[in-house]
Structure 1
Amino acid sequence: MACIAALPADNALDQVSALAIVVVGVAGWTLRVWYRSARRVPLGTAASVRRVRQQHRLTSRSWLEIDGKTWLPVFFDPALVTLPSPVTAEVSTTTIGWNGHVFMVSGRALSAEPPGRLIDNPLAPDADAAERGAVAARPLRRLLLDAQSAVVGPFVGLFWVYLVGGGIPAFVGATCVGAAVAIWASAIRGSDPS
């Protein structure tokens, strides 16, 4: 807060207003995702499903391929590691149910394969698959995966200082906010640490 106090009054107001807009946007989008995941939609029709793990640039996501025609991204769940491939599951627009587990959709469906390197789940899971899934779901491992996207933080800081000014305090603040939003965006899209 001392950094903001050192700025001229109108520039400090611009900085705080921009931060408030970012916070409101992130909170609103997070509440939207939580609402969609908390809302239990009745599971729909039975379909053949197989898990595909995507690696594309800094992104790693889980996708469920439905009947070989549609790909749905899902939030990571340790049960995805134990999912045989293919398996019959109950599919709706926002959830996929299998063996008592409900996988929440984390994005829009694709009618073509997702870009990048695709890694199929094995036909039958290994004996230690549940343990590997639990290890992958640890918060520190997830943060390590999502933190890769924080490299955009300094570029956001430079762009902010170029547009608004504010010197080093504004650069540091915008870098921190840019890195935090990049980590959040990676996590909210459904990153896969497995």
Structure 2
Amino acid sequence: MGALVIGASTGGPQALHEVLKAAKPALGAVPTLICQHMPAGFTTVLADHLSTGLGLRAREAKDGEPIVAGDVYLAPGGRHFTVQRVGGRIVARLADGPPVNFCRPSVDPLFRSAVEVYGAGVVAVVLTGMGSDGAAAVTEVASAGGRVIAQDEATSAVWGMPGAAVATGACSAVLPLSGIGIRIAAWARGERT
């Protein structure tokens, strides 16, 4: 596993907490890149909550900073977040471009950039949320040999985003919220579940 990338919207902060808590034993070996649909200012609070509540090094991504295994990076509210290989390093890139899928930050640009950098090492997770953000990019994750998990309908506050991801046929697994972090940890250990 090269990187964990997560997209979420409505109901996402609580879902993120549960997934990261269960996956925490595996997170030291990979960077975690998150796009949570939120306005500016709120993602700082979310990063602080994840840091203090889970003991993770979580923060808003800063443009040009190196992406380091074991750290959790959130797209700042109102800005697109992608990753890019620059020489021998992988760095965060932030942009103020137009909304994608009516969203900024948007899941699709983050997932696509992760595929460009990490290829088959991407594990992409689509959590609860309205709309279809992330669905276009999960097909690219799967085509590159990466794996995609979608949250199931029963445990989603809104099954728009994960439902759209499932509809693409690109998901490796559709799981209840309680099973997602466990599956991520198993994959990180090399298990073929």
TM-score range, shorter chain: under 0.3
More helix by share: 1
Largest Rg, 1 or 2? 1
Q: TM-score, normalised by structure 2?
A: 0.24
Q: TM-score, normalised by structure 1?
A: 0.24
